[in-house]
């Protein structure tokens, strides 16, 4: 090959190959970041399922009932506090990992499920009453977020309970 042909080939690689390589690199990095975010979301979701297993292991606390347990014993209050501490830790972790001020559609859908969980628990009077104690030492932005949700849920019209079929009672 002549020197001129090598020069043209070198120019083609530089002009076309380098930008293509950069685009491919950026695309792969973005794909990897998306996969990492999906993995984090799955880990958080699994942690919430594990938390619900703890709730199921303590049916006497009535943590999935619409009304808080009336007149709990000291031992029941202690178990409730520990379970609520576990939940608070999970909520804070979800907030720190998944919440962003400016979210895209996928991030917003992921976050909305956590927001729903937080709202559901903040509707419980016993959980809301323990928030000052549960939030002590947590991330300040998370504290603000959860307090706002608790205020909204306390002031919201009473939500109607769901039946096992998912249809609201009238």
Residue 161 has pLDDT above 80, yes or no: no
The pLDDT of residue 149: 96
105-109, 115-119, 133-137, 140-144: lowest mean pLDDT where?
Answer: 105-109
Q: What is the pLDDT of residues 46-96, one digit of tens each?
A: 999 999 999 999 999 999 988 888 999 999 999 999 999 999 999 999 999
> Quick check: 95 and 145 in contact, CB under 8 A?
yes
Question: pLDDT tier at 106 (50, 70, 90 boundaries)?
Answer: confident
Q: What mean pLDDT, rounded, does the chain reach? A: 86
- Average pLDDT, integer, range 38-48: 87
- Average pLDDT, integer, range 142-166: 77
Question: pLDDT tier at 28 (50, 70, 90 boundaries)?
Answer: confident
């Amino acid at each position: 090959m002549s020197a001129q042909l090598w020069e043209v080939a070198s120019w083609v690689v530089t002009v076309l190959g380098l930008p293509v390589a950069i685009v491919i690199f950026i695309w792969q990095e973005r794909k990897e970041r998306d996969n990492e975010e999906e993995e984090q979301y799955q880990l958080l979701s699994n942690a919430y399922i594990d938390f619900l297993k703890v709730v199921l292991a303590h049916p006497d606390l009535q943590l999935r009932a619409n009304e808080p347990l009336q007149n709990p014993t000291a031992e029941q209050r202690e178990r409730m506090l520990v379970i609520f501490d576990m939940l608070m830790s999970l909520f804070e972790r979800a907030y720190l990992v998944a919440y962003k001020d400016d979210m895209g559609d996928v991030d917003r859908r992921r976050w909305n499920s956590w927001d729903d969980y937080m709202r559901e628990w903040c509707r419980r009077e016993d959980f809301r009453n323990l928030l000052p104690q549960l939030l002590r030492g947590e991330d300040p932005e998370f504290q603000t977020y959860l307090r706002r949700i608790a205020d909204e849920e306390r002031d919201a019209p009473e939500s109607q309970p769901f039946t096992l079929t998912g249809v609201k009672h009238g």
